[in-house]
């Protein structure tokens, strides 16, 4: 397993360490209406999903040693998950910052860290994601562009939903 990469911005931490990830916290976030593409699933499946992805966990660090006492680690307050071979392709999903932490620049920082990590891969062919077409967040922060279906590139993206999809197509 590769050494985790970490970024600090007091009192927050972004880490690619799989040992810090909190499947129960991620599953709880899946209940939120703002994560319109997700729904809570079995916790063991969330664990597997996270283990098999390159996850950028966002954590709030404890502010004092007394608040550390009795806690097993920092609280997970956000996530950006890449389904990837870590060489040629990465699909970005499950990006969120909990409501109470939004608007502090953490979502922008999360995507900046992810971009700094992934765009170094010398053999990366493409990063992809699916989002609401009115959402400019990823265009602004990650530099992605809508795929020109068949028009300029001569290529189209095809997809098919599965049993677990909460989207209709
Ligand atoms: C999208 C999301 C990850 C951004 O996280 P964040 O920590 O709030 O992001 P930032 O503070 O860096 O702000 C990023 C932009 O979102 C806007 N924003 C942040 N919080 C907001 C809020 N509560 N309401 C409206 N706009 C908000 C900011 O104005 C900012 O825009 P700017 O860069 O043009 O100034 C977060 O809002 C979220 O988790 N949303 C719900 C899940 C979601 O939609 N995920 C993306 C799936 S496509």
* CB 36, CB 166: distance < 8 Å: yes
Residue 166's pLDDT is: 96
**105 CA from centroid of ligand 1 (Å):** 8
Q: Which two tokens stand for residue 150?
A: 């068949």
Q: Say yes or no to pLDDT of 84 above 90.
A: yes
* Whether the CB of 106 sits within 6 Å of ligand 1: yes
The residue-averaged pLDDT of 36-60 equals 98
* Whether the CB of 104 sits within 6 Å of ligand 1: yes
Distance in angstroms (rounded) separating the CA atoms of residues 48 and 45? 5
Q: Say yes or no to pLDDT of 67 above 70.
A: no
Distance in angstroms (rounded) separating the CA atoms of residues 146 and 150? 12
The residue-averaged pLDDT of 71-80 equals 87
pLDDT digits (tens, 9 = 90+) for 148-159: 988 777 999 999
Distance in angstroms (rounded) separating the CA atoms of residues 43 and 23? 6
* Whether the CB of 52 sits within 6 Å of ligand 1: no
Residue of minimum CA distance from atom 8 in ligand 1: 102
Instruction: Give one DSSP letter per residue of 4-61, joined into a string.
Output: PPEEEETTEEEE--GGG--HHHHHHHTTSTTSTT-----HHHHHHHHHTSEEEEEEEP
Residue 152's pLDDT is: 76
What is the average pLDDT score of the chain?
94
Q: Higher pLDDT residue, 2 or 98?
A: 98
pLDDT digits (tens, 9 = 90+) for 100-139: 999 999 999 999 999 999 999 999 999 999 999 888 999 9
**Percent of the residues in the chain that have a pLDDT greater than 70, as a whole number:** 94
* Whether the CB of 102 sits within 6 Å of ligand 1: yes
Q: pLDDT category, 1, cuts 50, 70, 90? A: low
What domains can be seen in the chain, in order of their start residue?
6-142 (3.40.630.30)
* CB 92, CB 79: distance < 8 Å: no
Residue 68's pLDDT is: 53
Residue 10's pLDDT is: 96
Q: Say yes or no to pLDDT of 39 above 60.
A: yes
Residue 114's pLDDT is: 98
Regarding beta strands 89-97 and 126-129, do their DSSP bridges make them parallel or antiparallel, or are they unpaired?
parallel
**78 CA from centroid of ligand 1 (Å):** 12
* Whether the CB of 96 sits within 6 Å of ligand 1: yes
């Amino acid at each position: 397993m590769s050494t985790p990469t970490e970024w600090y911005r007091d009192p927050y931490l972004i880490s690619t360490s799989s040992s810090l990830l909190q499947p129960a916290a991620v599953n709880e976030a899946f209940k939120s209406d703002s994560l319109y593409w997700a729904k809570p699933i079995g916790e063991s499946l969330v664990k597997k999903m996270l283990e098999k992805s390159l996850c950028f966990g966002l954590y709030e660090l404890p502010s004092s040693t007394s608040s550390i006492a009795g806690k097993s680690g920092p609280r997970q307050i956000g996530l950006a998950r890449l389904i990837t071979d870590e060489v040629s392709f990465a699909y970005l999903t499950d990006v969120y910052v909990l409501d109470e932490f939004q608007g502090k620049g953490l979502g922008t920082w999360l995507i900046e860290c992810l971009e700094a990590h992934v765009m170094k891969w010398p053999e990366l062919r493409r990063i992809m994601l699916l989002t609401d077409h009115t959402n400019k967040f990823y265009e602004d922060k990650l530099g992605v562009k809508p795929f020109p279906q068949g028009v300029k590139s001569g290529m189209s993206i095809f997809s098919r939903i599965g049993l677990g999809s909460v989207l209709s197509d």
